[in-house]
Amino acid sequence: MQKLALICAVLAAMLLSQAMGAVGPAIVVLNPQNWQGGHEPAGWELKVSHGRPDFSQCLDANVPCLRLKSVEASFGLEYAADIDPNQTGHLTWSWKVTQLPQRGDFRHAATDDQAAQVLVAFADRRVLSYIWDSNAPKGTMEPASSLPFVHIYAIVCESGASDAGRWIAEDRDVAADYERAFGKSPSHIKGLRIQINSQHTASIAESYFREITFRGTPR
């Protein structure tokens, strides 16, 4: 019986190892479940561009999440990283928008407000900005407003209020998006930023995030 139990344990370990290998490596950068609230999540740093930041831990259907609210403000949370997008280049996250800056549209500097953005920064000072825009059509991909010596390329993952109030799961091949945007293979990922802003349109925006993870294979 002991021998049979040992064989079963070995087989179970082998199956678990195979299953983990099929999923590929994963780097969890945001896990609201392990966050106590009252301060930034572990490893994250608050960055304020304008106005007063408003973020907190929340529960939605008993699932922990991060809530961001902007009242004519612009702020974000940043996470420093060193990730090879050729190894763990699938970025997955879930987000929900409950209030959009109605006139928000990243294509014009005067209305460049979004309820939710996920920005991926690379070592060569290039940035991919995945956004939930108020008006730019879903699937729009084009250069966005650039900071000095920084090249930002925006990708509209969601648009408008048709899915407002619903959790949407995203899965982006960051390496492929980088090559499409900049015409070359990506350098290492050096950071991630969750951003919300509504100062340009003098409005209010609100969004929520669940786990954010870099994976070796699609979710």
This prediction has a pTM of 0.86
- DSSP assignment letter at 42: T
Q: Give the CA distances from residue 108 to residues 7, 51, 67, 129, 172, in Å, rounded to whole numbers and listed in that order.
A: 64, 21, 26, 15, 25
CATH architecture under which domain 26-215 falls: Sandwich (2.60)
pLDDT in tens, 18-32: 333 444 579 999 998
**CA 63 to CA 59: how far, in whole Å?**
5
What would the pLDDT profile of 78-136 be if each residue is shown by its tens digit?
999 999 999 999 999 999 999 999 899 999 999 999 999 999 999 999 999 999 999 99
Please determine, for residue 159, whether its predicted confidence score (pLDDT) is greater than 80. Answer: yes
Cβ proximity of 73 and 200 under 8 Å: no
Domain residue spans of the chain: 26-215
How is residue 30 written in tokens? 């945001």
Q: Tell me how far CA of residue 203 lies from CA of 31, 52, 64, 157, 217, in angstroms.
A: 29, 13, 27, 22, 38
